[in-house]
Copies of this chain bind each other. A is one copy, B any other.
Amino acid sequence: MSDGSEDKVIIETEDDDDAYGLDHDNVDTILAAVEANNQPLLLELLEPLHVADIADVLEQISRSERAALIELWGIELDGGVLSELEEGVRDEILRDLPDHVLAEAVRDLDTDDVVYLVGDLDEPQQEKLLGSLEDADRAAVEMSLQYEEYTAGRLMQRELVSAPQHWNVGDIIDYMRASDDLPETFYDVFIVDPFMHPIGTVRLSKIMAAARKTLLTALMSEDFRTIPVDQEQEDVAYAFNQYHMVSAPVVDEDGRLVGVITIDDAMEVLEDEAEEDMKLLAGIGDEELSDSVLETARLRFPWLAVNLGTAILASLVIGLFSATIESIVALAVLMPIVASMGGNAGTQTLTVAVRALATRDLTASNAMRIVRREALVGLGNGMVFAVVIGIVGWLWFGLPLLGVVIAVATVINMLVAGLAGILIPIGLEKVGADPALASGTFVTTVTDVVGFFAFLGLAGWVLT
């Protein structure tokens, strides 16, 4: 950080004047305090920062700086930071954290945050961490851990406020005033029948605006959606987003209320899912910005290996036409244009399709129409660009027939690109795979192979 080369890549945009996030000076001052081994100053600097911002600091500094900061922070470490960290950095910190610091840090966390942390640890570390919790918390955490990862059971919090059907506004207010372990935040009271089945929800704002003797059932909305405890978190996030839900009751297989999921949890899942699709499309796995060179290289390797395979396939196609290329070298010069236009058109279609499948806008009801549309768009743009590319090919090499050949190949490849871009992700979804997964390679493989084959094959037939 001291070689001065940093200055070359400082990111300065209009965003710099906004009120959120960290600025560069902030991080530098914190690092200076760590370097000077000045704990009071460090605490003073961290104190006004939100735990999410402190987590960002930890992610953005180097591994050794991170270790030094954590050591200097010591027992004062705020456990909230741990749940904000990305997985790689969190694992690294948890591994190095002394037992008593970890126990102290975890004690103040909500049980759903503890569940989130514990889920990532290996067996002995889990035991250690669970052992440092109070009995009630420990039991709650262990209960949540019984549910599968990435399901509603893991996402929900168990603390909630429910009321029997016969209660009125006064009853629930008195209950809440008397209770000393209400959830930190809640937006709805769930009305349950004697079997703990939720029969309605009442928004807090409605309760507050009603007279004491109003029955809760009179304020209750029956138009709510329950979430099965084993539902995939992706579906939970979809429901929150689609129906503008703020909190939703989670029920077990017997329909009994066991927890609540709030919109902030759903928002995080939604953000993660969008990021995952974006990364899958580009052939990146579960990598994080703080990963080391070795980890990053290893995670990107498989996709590059697949790409090498498909590139060799495309080369084999070209190899079939070596003799043709030898007699007309212009073909070698022009062939990447056909492949590239197809690849781009295919990627456009693919991205739209993957996104539409994720948001469930592309369904059986409109799939056929969209497939037709993509074919026509590919054909239409293909014909327009075919004219341009045909003229380029003709004028460049003075061979009118070469222009015709490249024009026809362009139309064919862009039509195929449109079809591949929509049919491949639909096909992947149909067989139960993630439509974003490897779609990119499949599509460009198709457009490379078809592009080279159409162009060189036609050329061999017409021009030689």
User: A177: which of B211, B292, B345, B448 is its contact (CB, 8 Å)?
Assistant: B211
- Shortest beta-carbon distance from A370 to chain B in Å: 7
**Copies of chain A in the complex:** 2
Q: Mark A289-310, 1 if CB is under 8 A from B, else 0.
A: 1001110110011011101101
On whether the beta carbons of A339 and B336 are closer than 8 Å, the reply is yes
Partner of A355, one of B275, B304, B380, B396: B275
Q: Are A448 and B21 in contact (CB under 8 A)?
A: no
The answer on a CB contact under 8 Å between A333 and B322 is yes
Do most interface residues of chain A lie in helix, strand or loop, or is the interface mixed? Answer: helix
**A347 and B283 form a contact (CB under 8 A):** yes
Name the B residues within 8 Å of A334 (CB-CB): 315
Q: How far is the CA of A196 from the CA of B305 in the complex (A)?
A: 62
Q: What is the distance, in angstroms, from A67's C-beta to the closest C-beta of chain B?
A: 15
Are B340 and A384 neighbours in the complex by a CB distance under 8 Å? no
Chain B proximity mask over A301-345: 1 for CB below 8 Å, otherwise 0? 101110110111011001100100110011111111101110011
> Who on chain B is nearest to A183 by CB?
B205
Beyond A243-B50, A380-B297, whether A426 also contacts B9 by CB under 8 A is yes
Q: CA separation between A145 and B392, bound complex, in Å? A: 49
A185-B205, A242-B50 known; A303+B344 contact, CB < 8 A: yes
Give 24 pairs: A residue, B residue, CB < 8 Å, sorted on A: A8-B368, A9-B371, A10-B367, A11-B364, A11-B430, A12-B364, A20-B239, A21-B242, A56-B361, A59-B361, A176-B208, A185-B203, A187-B246, A267-B267, A267-B270, A278-B281, A287-B352, A297-B376, A305-B385, A314-B337, A319-B396, A325-B333, A332-B332, A336-B452
